[in-house]
């Protein structure tokens, strides 16, 4: 394993996103030189807050789908590239499959090529557990891949390109399949941590949480600091060419999640084809990377609620937008009859 205190030059794609912004904060706090690439709709000032040494951090507005914007100079001299930029959301991908392919597949190839040409020392890819679809649980990395949405498919295809670049071009790569990441800065109505964001939206606008059926569906909810720690651990290690699951190691049903968030619980008719269980086998990442999660869901949700002022001010919590998101998800579920893992 690399020394923890060794300073690195790192680049993060998707730096303006939920997980990406937390990763940038962690890397800066660890003393590294950080370049963040992303779409900073609200500007980069909020991401610079609290970072007094501006010589160690910079943010660049760039679209990974446009190879001309991923200038070689951004990647030169880089030790680690964390590729997090992506379109996310199962339901949304049904309506925009081409856009998801363009970002999650073609965009990934652009990042890989930029990293390869710059002789980057290691690339870490944030993959998605949605590649497994309706798999038997706990799910190991060797389980069959059976995505049920364009989102899950395109994230898996991105991973395939990452591993291929590792094999053919000898680019040192690692892929982490993340499970249901949530935490402070999460956006109600956003795509990450879909169940948490959906429930937060319902609480904001309706004062209750709606559970499908009795709420016995089981999930692994991963606190964002743990997800970030898994990514950093993978980068520090001497391991490459491997795929790992990353989760909390705890199984929670949706009834427990709703109870922790607070508010009244309303039960609705069970959704046809809904995935009842989605949680990983973490033996591989524990054994090889010596990594283990630290935050249980009770502590994690408490920290989300403590940061309520942060997510309440986010424009993504607009009631009309939230209701449109829910209606679209329900309509797509009926029309497509797909087993959407939300």
Catalytic residues: 151
Nearest Cα neighbor of 28 from 59, 2, 1 is 59
Structural contact between residues 74 and 34, judged by C-beta atoms closer than 8 angstroms = no
Distance CA 319, CA 118 (A): 45
Nearest Cα neighbor of 164 from 103, 231, 112, 104 is 112
Give me the residues paired with residue 139 across strands.
280
CA distance between the termini of the chain: 36
Angle between helices 194-206 and 254-261 (to 10 degrees): 40
CA distances from 119 to 108, 114, 123 (A): 16, 9, 10
The C-alpha angle with vertex 284 and arms to 101 and 219, in degrees rounded to 5, equals 60
Distance CA 152, CA 278 (A): 14
Give me the residues paired with residue 122 across strands.
80
Structural contact between residues 31 and 51, judged by C-beta atoms closer than 8 angstroms = no
Give me the residues paired with residue 184 across strands.
none
């Amino acid at each position: 394993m690399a020394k923890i205190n060794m300073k690195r030059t790192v680049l993060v794609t998707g730096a303006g996103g939920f997980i990406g912004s937390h990763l940038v904060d962690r890397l800066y706090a660890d003393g590294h030189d950080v370049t963040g690439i992303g779409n900073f709709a609200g500007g980069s000032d909020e991401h610079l807050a609290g970072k007094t040494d501006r010589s160690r951090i910079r943010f660049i507005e760039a679209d990974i789908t446009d190879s001309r914007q991923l200038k070689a100079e951004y990647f030169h001299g880089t030790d680690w590239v964390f590729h997090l930029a992506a379109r996310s959301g199962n339901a949304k991908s049904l309506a925009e499959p081409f856009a998801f392919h363009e970002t999650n597949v073609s965009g990934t190839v652009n990042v890989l090529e930029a990293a390869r040409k710059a002789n980057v020392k290691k690339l870490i890819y944030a993959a998605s557990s949605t590649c497994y679809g309706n798999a038997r649980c706990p799910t190991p990395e060797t389980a069959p891949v059976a995505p049920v949405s364009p989102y899950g498919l395109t994230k898996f295809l991105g991973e395939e390109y990452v591993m291929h670049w590792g094999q053919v071009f000898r680019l040192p790569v690692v892929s982490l399949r993340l499970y249901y990441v949530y935490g402070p800065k999460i956006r109600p109505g956003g795509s990450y941590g879909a169940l948490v964001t959906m429930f937060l939206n319902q609480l904001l606008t309706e004062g209750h949480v709606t559970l499908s059926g009795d709420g016995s569906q089981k999930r692994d909810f991963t606190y964002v600091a743990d997800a970030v720690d898994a990514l950093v651990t993978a980068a520090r290690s001497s391991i490459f060419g491997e795929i790992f699951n990353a989760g909390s190691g705890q199984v929670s049903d949706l009834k427990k999640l709703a109870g922790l968030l607070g508010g009244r619980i309303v039960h609705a008719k069970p959704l046809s084809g809904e995935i009842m269980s989605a949680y990983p086998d973490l033996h591989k990442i524990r054994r090889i990377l010596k990594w283990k999660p630290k935050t249980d869901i009770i502590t994690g949700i408490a920290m989300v609620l403590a940061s309520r002022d942060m997510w309440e001010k986010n424009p993504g919590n607009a009631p009309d937008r939230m209701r449109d998101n829910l209606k679209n998800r329900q309509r797509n579920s009926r029309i497509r009859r797909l087993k959407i893992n939300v």
